[in-house]
A and B are shown apart, each in its own frame.
Chain A
Amino acid sequence: MNLQVSPTQSASYPPVGQPIAGGLQQAQNRWGMLFVSPFFLLFAIFGLFPLLFSLVLSLSDWNGQGAVNYIGLENLNLILQDRVFWQSMFNGVLIFLLYTPLQLLLSLVLAVVLNSRRVRGFRLFRTIIFMPYITNMVAAGYVFQLLMNSRSGLFNQILAVFSVAPVPWLDTPWAARVSLVILVLWAWLGYHMTIMLAGLQTIPQDLNEAATVDGASPLQIFFRITIPLMRPVILFSLVLSTIGSFNLFTELVSLFPSTAGGGPLNSTITPGLYIFNQGFGNFRFGYASAVAVVYFVLVFLIVLVERRYLGRDNT
């Protein structure tokens, strides 16, 4: 029998981050390395290599066939003059500005209301509001097309009951952007509300009670206690919504199939969709890769700014 049990081993295991001495433990820890290795292997093939390859392609005019022909930074020059690309970035910013504040406010207020224990049927409301999140976006986009049809759609029929003139939901640039935001809000409100609810449950209840005893109004509690303590969760939700706004794809092709997702006058085209169209529509894989790199850098900068102003330590 070669059971080399060291004294430390039979006691509790060393805490995270401390190296273990001894031959047996070293052999064991090699198993740990083996267990984490599949991730790195798969990432190298299907993540890192594509990422580097994307950088290489961005310097070429490769069209999907034949040898890769390098043209240096010429693509960057083309991007600077590409009005549709800048339109797509502009749309991303507009959709972000329309969508993100509404999403954050609505999900936070809903979570606070549902968490306040004043609501009957808490679970039923939470389930119903969460249901759209599990729905695939193609199904959702197509049913919203029907609801938002300007002639016979249910939305305009309901508005007509209140004598509101028909809204051209999907037919003019601004209406199309608002309609898109409504679809995305519908789909994601339940998700954001759920993570806000989980965040609220980490706030000690006696904090709110103490503030109430001291005479704070519910609004004061919301702005002075809830929002500051919820900052990490709000940041998470904000970053997710930011990346989401620029990356919309399935939402667009499902809501505006007749314009391949671009909407009226390219009013809803986003960088994500534009990359796809340039690559798989026009076979300009080199150019599409360059757009992807520029877009990634721009969104990364926006997220950095958000982290800086909302991050844990403001650093």
Chain B
Amino acid sequence: MKSSFRVRRWIEDAVLHLLLILIALFMILPFIWMLSTSLKPVSEVFQSPPQLISPNASLDAFRTLFEQKGFARNLGNTLVVATAATVLRLFFCALGGYGFAKFSFRGRGALFAFVLATMVIPFGVTLIPLYYIMLQMRWIDTFWPLIIPGAANAFGIFFMRQYISTLPNELIDAARIDGAREFAIFWRVILPMIAPGLVSLGLIFFMASWNDYLFPLVILKSPSNFTLPLTIRSLVAGGLGRPVYNLQMAGSVISIVPLLIIFLVFQRRFIDGITAGAVKL
């Protein structure tokens, strides 16, 4: 009786692990194929049957990207935009979160509810007027629209308010008694204490900005200003604009590797940030 139970449990576990391995393989297969294609000459991309490692494998596609397509510039654009957007967002979200968490002013509850309500506005509804505003401000084909409008982020303020409200008030009061000015308290007392939260939120902001496609597509016009997702899509040839897949896959590999490294290093913090909205909201 007991041994038959153990056999059954062993079979169940084996089936479970087999299914998980299949799902994991499906998840990882596109990454492997991306890398494989990026190393192939373009003539072998649609070869049938496909080969995982081409006998003619080389880094030619990567070389072409950097030597002929000016890919370093696009990589730099993406890094500048994502970094600037992240730093600015973190600053305003921490400041706003601190305001909502540790001060009581008239209408605070209603204002906070308003902040949360703004999250339901779909981006598609404001896209066209936003484009119009950027046109009027002569910000088309510049990085400003990708940095400034998102600087005060409702989710970020919600996240930071939750985070900061767990800090003890005594530290703030002690700083006040020592005569510190209010902004100095935020800068020197609050910010250092919320560093782990800033990392969690910063990772989400950085990833969102790095991977963004729709808004940069509307705003950026010259290829030398493109960010990586736009650049990958622009790697086409001929009058019909046929995709050059080995170049696109090489660009894709380069676009994914930095985020992957950051994710693997900060996995715990990243997941903390992701789950904050779902479980606590």
A pairs with B: yes
Q: In the complex, which residues of chain B have a beta carbon less than 8 angstroms from the beta carbon of A253?
A: 233
* A172 in the interface (beta carbon within 8 A): no
* B60 in the interface (beta carbon within 8 A): no
Instruction: Kindly state the separation between the CA atoms of A250 and B150 in the bound complex, as whole angstroms.
Output: 19
Q: In the complex, which residues of chain B have a beta carbon less than 8 angstroms from the beta carbon of A98?
A: none
**Pick from B109, B177, B228: contact of A10, CB under 8 Å:** B177
* B157 in the interface (beta carbon within 8 A): yes
**A136-B28 in contact given A46-B133, A296-B122 (Cβ < 8 Å):** no
Q: In the complex, which residues of chain B have a beta carbon less than 8 angstroms from the beta carbon of A46?
A: 126, 130, 133, 148-150
Are B152 and A143 in touch, CB under 8 angstroms? no
Are A138 and B243 in touch, CB under 8 angstroms? no
Instruction: Kindly state the separation between the CA atoms of A140 and B259 in the bound complex, as whole angstroms.
Output: 14
Instruction: Kindly state the separation between the CA atoms of A13 and B167 in the bound complex, as whole angstroms.
Output: 11
* A257 in the interface (beta carbon within 8 A): yes
Chain A contact residues: helix, strand, loop or mixed: helix
Are B128 and A292 in touch, CB under 8 angstroms? yes
Instruction: Kindly state the separation between the CA atoms of A141 and B151 in the bound complex, as whole angstroms.
Output: 29
The listed residue with most B CB atoms (<10 A of its CB), out of A17, A128, A157, is A128
**Pick from A49, A128, A276, A292: contact of B24, CB under 8 Å:** A128
* A223 in the interface (beta carbon within 8 A): no
* B92 in the interface (beta carbon within 8 A): yes
**Pick from A131, A147, A275: contact of B27, CB under 8 Å:** A131
| Total contacting residues, chain B, CB less than 8 A | 100
Q: In the complex, which residues of chain A have a beta carbon less than 8 angstroms from the beta carbon of B165?
A: 16
Q: In the complex, which residues of chain A have a beta carbon less than 8 angstroms from the beta carbon of B259?
A: 134-135
**Pick from B103, B232, B233, B281: contact of A31, CB under 8 Å:** B103
Are A125 and B151 in touch, CB under 8 angstroms? no
* A78 in the interface (beta carbon within 8 A): no
B 153-182 binary contact with A (CB < 8 Å = 1; else 0): 010010000000100111011001100001
Chain B contact residues: helix, strand, loop or mixed: helix
Instruction: Kindly state the separation between the CA atoms of A202 and B257 in the bound complex, as whole angstroms.
Output: 33
* B37 in the interface (beta carbon within 8 A): yes
B 102-129 binary contact with A (CB < 8 Å = 1; else 0): 1111101101000100101111111111
* A142 in the interface (beta carbon within 8 A): yes
Task: Say how far A230's CB is from chain B's closest CB, in angstroms.
Answer: 10
Q: In the complex, which residues of chain A have a beta carbon less than 8 angstroms from the beta carbon of B267?
A: 127
Instruction: Kindly state the separation between the CA atoms of A127 and B135 in the bound complex, as whole angstroms.
Output: 42
Instruction: Kindly state the separation between the CA atoms of A5 and B17 in the bound complex, as whole angstroms.
Output: 63
* B237 in the interface (beta carbon within 8 A): no
**A28-B30 in contact given A50-B129, A136-B256 (Cβ < 8 Å):** no
Are A50 and B130 in touch, CB under 8 angstroms? yes
* A95 in the interface (beta carbon within 8 A): no
Task: Say how far A142's CB is from chain B's closest CB, in angstroms.
Answer: 5
**A129-B23 in contact given A32-B104, A35-B98, A138-B233 (Cβ < 8 Å):** yes
Q: A128-B28, A143-B37, A279-B128 are in contact. List 8 more A-B contacts (CB 8 A).
A: A12-B170, A14-B104, A16-B165, A19-B104, A33-B99, A35-B98, A249-B214, A279-B127
Top 7 A-B residue pairs of the complex, sorted by shortest distance between their CB atoms: A32-B103, A35-B99, A13-B169, A139-B252, A50-B129, A46-B149, A39-B152
Interface, chain A (partner B; CB < 8 A): 3, 5, 9-10, 12-14, 16-20, 28-36, 38-43, 45-47, 49-51, 53-54, 57, 110, 113, 118-120, 124-125, 127-132, 134-140, 142-147, 149, 151-154, 157, 186, 189-191, 194-195, 198-199, 202, 232-233, 236-237, 243, 247, 249-250, 253-254, 257, 271-272, 275-276, 279-280, 285, 288-289, 292-293, 295-296, 299-300
